Structure 1
Amino acid sequence: MARSSIVAVLLLTTALVGTRYAVAGQAPSAASDPDIPMSHQDRVYSAEQYSNTVSVTDPVDNKLLGTIRLGDPLPANLSPLYKGQLLVHGMGFSPDHRTIAVVAIGSNAVNFIDTATNAVKHVTYVGRSPHEAFYTMDGSEVWVVVRGENYVSVLDGKTYEEKTRIIVPNGPGMTIFSPDGKYGYVCSSFTPETEVITVADHKIVGRVPQASPFCPNIAATPDSKQVWLTLKDSGKTQVFDGQPPFALLKTLDTGPITNHVNIVRNANGMFAYVTIGGLNEIKVFRTDNFEQVATIPVGKLPHGIWPSGDGTRVYVGLENEDKIAAIDTLKNEVIATSPIGQAPQALVYVPDAVPAASGAINSAMTRMMVVPEGLGTSNLQPLGVAGQSAQLWLASPEAKKEERAPTSVSLSDQGLVQVLEAAVTGLEPGKPYLIALATEPSGTGALEPLQSFMTNPAGAAVVSTIGPIRQLVRGEGKIPRRYLVILPGTPDNHGAAVQVQRE
């Protein structure tokens, strides 16, 4: 390329960045930070708890580049000598976008992964059942909520060693920070209260009541004025003031299995995107008046969600479909899906995760180019068994085929057996139920109980069990076919099927 052409392209790119993207930062950055246009240097990472993988996706063409394999499927992970990770679940990333922190809740680990090489550079083991981890805004600390206990484990951002603990109510669910760097917000999964903690001295300075105990996710707006949190058990989303006195601003009834929330700023304003797992959709709310402005059907059991660096896209992991959906935030519609590992949980979009090629003219120029083959793809593996799963639905025996089925089921292959995960909705709140195999499609005949469960206040539940279930419900080979059903009651005392298998 001639020198004059290079200069022209650079001037054009600088002008575009300066006019279109200035002062419009996306979560978790500050509102004063410039937007970062999408490029092949960006990555979407999803944590997948049944395949124990992190899938790495190029968001420009929605292409799966490969997986970072942190653990093995069954039965290898049952060995007493097993050293891999179990139930890969939580996600966070550093302010310089060069490290992701991946939490494995079953092995009590925080894995620190280099975004340029996809290599694990350190593993820190913390207390029982950590859930999520995130860096402070200056990158000096990583706060890990230890949901199985009553504290936040504070790690040094450079050595990754624990430096202190912040005692909080039982079951901290997630932490996120105000973009102005002042506060950490820690919601709870076991106690109906969110704590506000000063980043500088780790002191609790505010307490916000939750409408119910089970908060899995929390997000702060880029202007540091609002904090949004989800309540998975009661199907609500709450908003409180991000500054003192941290007053509760709004409680929204969002729907069964309300999962994650994140904030998007675009030409139309600032919005909260909430994944509603039981409805297989995303609900979009304005942050100024809390009006719902869109409902986006996305697929089975949407979970983690994160905006692109320029707010033009938002990405969501589909837990019971093993896919990522890309959404145009101006049209609020799904524009692409791509495959990932089994049962994606948390998901993050990291702009400029892959450094520019050596000798590049400048960052503005390289953003217009395709990243050279192999850059940012080392240490990645193909999906393999992590890409093997089957899906089906359960609905009322009287439901018509065109009616929406309330319960989605995913069967994630683990060799000869599968992990069954059912996102159950449409039942009576706070009642005992049973998922079982029946010899008849109507739910009658001989029954084989698989798992008992209790519905939450929204009449929903996420139910898991394990076994050679796909072979039975598909009638593979010479195996007599069985049918998944849900019945009220217990294995010893149950009623007739209220939901039956639908292909």
Structure 2
Amino acid sequence: MTRTLRLAALLASVALPAFAGQAPAGSDAPDIPVSHHDRVYAAEQFSNTLSVIDPADNRLLGVLRLGDPAPGNLSPLYRGQLLVHGMGFSPDHRTLAVVSIGSNSVSFIDTATNAVKHVTYVGRSPHEAFFTPDGKEIWVTVRGENYVSVIDASTFEEKTRITVPAGPGMTIFSPDGQYGYVCSSFNPETVVISTADHGIVGRVKQDSPFCPNIAANPDGSQVWLTLKDTGRVMVFNAKPPFNVLHSMETGPITNHVNIVRNAHGSFAYITVGGRNEVQVYRTDDFSRVATIPVGALPHGLWPSGDGTRVYVGLENADAMVAIDTLTNTVIGSVPIGQAPQAVAYVPDAVPDGDGMQDLQPLGVAGQAAHLSLASTGSSTGSPMGSPMGSPMGSHVAAKNSTPAPTSVTLFDQGLIQVLQASVTGLEPKKPYVLAIASKADGSGTLEPLSSFTTNPAGSAIVNALGPIRQVVQGQAHEERRYLVVAPGTGAEHGAPVQVQAH
């Protein structure tokens, strides 16, 4: 009987595919079950903090303050970091690399103690950083310029620069360490670089210029990249000739992509910010298998060490949600700092101790107000979720059948707030203005806050700074006013096409 059972188990293991190894590791790496030794991190660009979560019980342990909120960071920035944004971690899971766009820096943090081991300053507006699979180098995409800064992982000093098309968005590596894949945020081209000699060995044409994020399959077969400007995702062959395998529309403000391998197969998880959802696709036939509502403006995401969960940062909700990948349902939500960008799940980040050193409570970093704008039914906008070029729905339809097209978060910075609006449902490549109106229906004189131009998907991320919450919530000494979006510029604009919902 025992021999029969062993034979049956052996045959089953041969017949069924075995999935192990989670990104960025290879498929031959062992899965690491979720435990109190793991950590989930979120880089938060308005509170300039790093939230630290214990995934075993989905509990916020505290935040590591890398810089100050406004208005302190509006003075000469002699200390601290500004616009904390990108993240990567070392293959031994002992070092976290945190990129701050506004201070042109990479902070190297000890995952076990939360201590900042070193800060390396690079060129204008770096975006993301990641370690090579052998752990010897960190490649930093310097998006404000035209190169990848290569940092020696032993000294944390820049050793060389790799010239690439202007505006590199992110680098990810093939699991075997042979290639680095660098997409562009300003040019419609991804380049493939040999890690051995830092030479470009392949080029992939992007469907559009703005790629913020890229991921490689653990089995070394595919590379996935997102296109935020057009709301698309592309997949190309991870090996020569690096040909495009698939391209598809996902939706406005498509942010990040990552790969999960679990008992059901291999899947790509994609955050679509303009639709407040995570979309899930098979990596074999590219079919969509799930759409998961998660909350306002999902941005970064990363799988657990065993692929059973995916953690997603909600940029306009100041929260991290956990998704069960076997059921594709949200199983937890954790309050975190302001406007999370990149997310990293680091298995066995704290092998000993509680890992609570240098962590502080959320404080003002956890304070925000949330609003939404609904369509007025004007022909210059369309309800979120409608296909490009489809007829404009009524104001009632926009409110009842689809979510409000624009979500707004007012992040408290003391007496003032940073406003961030995730705007969708507008005409593509057109000028608009975010403004304050004196009437609830948007009529009357408008007071412009910020002018912007929509991307090819008819969406945009819009920011402003000031005591806005007090005004739009009627807490100031003057009459309450209302947020609106109108076509045109601050100097000359039309009637609002989106107004603050009640």
TM-score normalised by L of structure 2:
0.92
For 2:386, the equivalent position in structure 1 comes to: none
Give the deviation of 1:22 after TM superposition: 7.4
SS across alignment from 1:275:
strand
Amino acid in the other structure paired with 1:424: V
Cα displacement string for residues 359-381 of structure 1 (whole angstroms, at most 9, x for unaligned residues): xxxxxxxxxxxxxxxx2011101
Q: Is the 8 A contact 2:298 2:312 kept in 1?
A: yes
User: 1:213-228 alignment to 2 at 5 Å?
Assistant: 213-228=209-224
Separation in 1, partners of 2:258, 2:480: 43
Aligned to 1:14: none
Instruction: Output aligned runs, 1:104-503, within 5 Å.
Output: 104-356=100-352, 375-397=354-376, 398-400=394-396, 401-403=399-401, 404-503=403-502
Residues 392-422 of structure 1: CA distance to partner in whole angstroms, max 9, x if unpaired? Answer: 1111135234341011111111111111100
Rounded to whole Å, the distance in 1 between the matches of 2:185 and 2:74 is 27
> How far, CA to CA, are the matches of 2:405 and 2:77 in structure 1?
41
| CA 81–464 in structure 1, closer or farther in 2 if over 3 Å, else same | closer
Matched-pair contact (CA < 8 Å) for 1:471–1:479: no
Q: Counterpart in 1 of 2:91?
A: 95
Q: Distance in 1 between matches of 2:468 and 2:357?
A: 36
| Cα offset, 1:355, TM superposition | 1.2
Secondary structure of the structure 2 residue equivalent to 1:490: coil
Match of 2:383 in 1: none
Report SS of the residue matched to 2:395: coil
Task: Give the distance between the partners of 1:77 and 1:416, measured in 2 at CA.
Answer: 14
Q: Counterpart of 1:386 in 2: which secondary structure?
A: helix
Amino acid at match of 2:488: G
* Corresponding letter in the other structure for 2:428: P
- Give the direction of change, closer, same or farther, for the CA distance of 1:113–1:59 in structure 2 (3 Å limit): same
Partner-residue secondary structure (3-state), 1:103: strand
- Aligned-pair CA distance for 1:431: 0.5
Residue aligning to 2:38 = 42
Aligned residues: 469
Structure 1 residues 495 and 205: alpha-carbon distance in aligned structure 2, compared to 1, 3 A threshold: same
Deviation for aligned residue 1:23: 5.8
Contact 1:206 1:246 in 2 (8 A): yes
CA shift, 1:477, in A, is: 4.6
Identity %: 70
Q: Report the Cα distance in structure 2 between the residues aligned to 1:313 and 1:478, rounded to whole angstroms.
A: 48
| Corresponding residue number in structure 2 for 1:366 | none
CA distance in 2, matches of 1:491, 1:303: 29
Change in Cα spacing, 1:153 to 1:280, as seen in structure 2 (3 Å) is same
Q: How far has the Cα of 1:495 moved from its partner?
A: 1.3
Q: Is the 8 A contact 2:19 2:265 kept in 1?
A: no
Q: Distance in 2 between matches of 1:233 and 1:183?
A: 26
Q: Distance in 2 between matches of 1:89 and 1:23?
A: 31
Kindly provide the CA deviation profile for residues 288-313 of structure 1, in whole angstroms up to 9, marking residues without a partner as x. Answer: 00001110000000000000000000
- Alignment gaps of 5+ in structure 1: 1-17, 358-374
Moved over 4 A (4+): 18-23
RMSD: 1.5
In the alignment, which residue of structure 1 is the partner of 2:384?
Answer: none
Q: Structure 1 residues 321 and 81, CA, compared in 2 at 3 Å: closer, same or farther?
A: closer
- C-alpha separation between the residues in 2 aligned to 1:57 and 1:414? 23
- Map of 2:4 onto structure 1: none
Secondary structure of the corresponding residue to residue 480 of structure 1: coil
Q: Secondary structure at the match of 1:66?
A: strand
Retained in 1: the 8 A contact 2:19–2:262?
no
Distance 2:69 2:177 in 1: 39
The answer to whether the 8 A contact 2:211-2:228 is kept is: yes
Letter in 1 for 2:234: Q
SS in 2 for 1:179: coil
SS of residue paired to 2:364: helix
Change in Cα spacing, 1:23 to 1:427, as seen in structure 2 (3 Å) is closer
Indicate if the aligned counterparts of 1:66 and 1:381 stay in contact, CA closer than 8 A. Answer: yes
SS at match of 1:128: coil
Kept in 2, the 8 Å contact 1:22–1:34? The answer is no
Using the size of structure 1 for normalisation, the TM-score is: 0.92
* Match of residue 29, structure 2, among 33, 41, 50: 33
SS in 2 for 1:470: helix
Partner of 1:361: none
| Structure 2 contact 18–263 (Cα < 8 Å) conserved | no
1:388 alignment partner AA: Q
**Counterpart code for 1:103:** V
